[in-house]
Structure 1
């Protein structure tokens, strides 16, 4: 009797695993086609950030930085700048909007931030510190 119960349980588990297998593939496909993913450049053209999913959340890693941007970051205590996660733990809050944390390397601070897609090639990154007393926004351009 126990062998029959185990066999039924194993069959059910195997069926559940097979049924669940396509879901992650579909989720990965939808993530891959997400317009937020790509390489984005700041308005000054001094930093490029690659947006990608880090687990379930959106993140952005510095892939290129000008010598001036690297020097500014170094003075503030961030060295090296390339490879730093500038955008961290962003979750989708609307169709074209995310909230998370942005790291400001030339100030060496993390701030609450919001990303809004303007269109497929432009996004706005806004961040605030001191409980929203000091806020700044930048429009970034997709370069690839």
Structure 2
């Protein structure tokens, strides 16, 4: 029984270390969209990565948006080489798009697409934490 508990503990700790090494996990600053930008906290969600709006800003500074705490990046699953596939929510129109994401150093490229990925809107985010 002790051996089994030790194996389970080691497996859980190893999984946590793997998520900590995920390049997308952290806090990112979005580009300005419709006059505002956000800080998005990317964290593990099941077998994927999700991004929640943590802070919002406009030309007057930080403000309390109705979108605080909502998922902007939805179920992005790693597809290898720092790339991910999932969904993206655009607060300005309330629509969810097919999403792609890639991480390279302190830069995260995110796109939301329609028409099977033929028409995409893209942003590049900068890592804060």
Please indicate, yes or no, whether the TM-score normalized by the shorter chain is above 0.5. yes
Deviates more, 1:27-36 or 1:47-56: 27-36
* Larger Rg belongs to: 1
1:133 Cα offset (Å):
4.2
Give the SS at the match of 1:107. coil
CA distance in 1, matches of 2:21, 2:76: 17
Q: Which residue of 2 aligns with 1:130?
A: 115
Q: Which residue of 2 aligns with 1:139?
A: 124
Q: Which residue of 2 aligns with 1:30?
A: 18
Q: Which residue of 2 aligns with 1:40?
A: 28
CA distance in 2, matches of 1:19, 1:63: 36
Matched, 1:116 2:116: no
Give TM-score scaled by structure 1 length. Answer: 0.75
Structure with a larger share of its residues in helix: 1
Structure with a larger share of its residues in strand: 2
1:34 Cα offset (Å):
2.3
Root-mean-square deviation over aligned CA pairs: 1.9
CA distance in 1, matches of 2:83, 2:69: 24
Counting matched residue pairs gives 121
Matched-pair contact (CA < 8 Å) for 2:23–2:82 = no
| Matching of residues 27-106 of structure 1 within 5 Å | 27-44=15-32, 46-67=37-58, 80-106=66-92
Structure 1: runs of 5 or more not aligned: 1-10, 69-78
Give the SS at the match of 1:19. helix
Structure 2: runs of 5 or more not aligned: 60-64
1:29 Cα offset (Å):
1.2
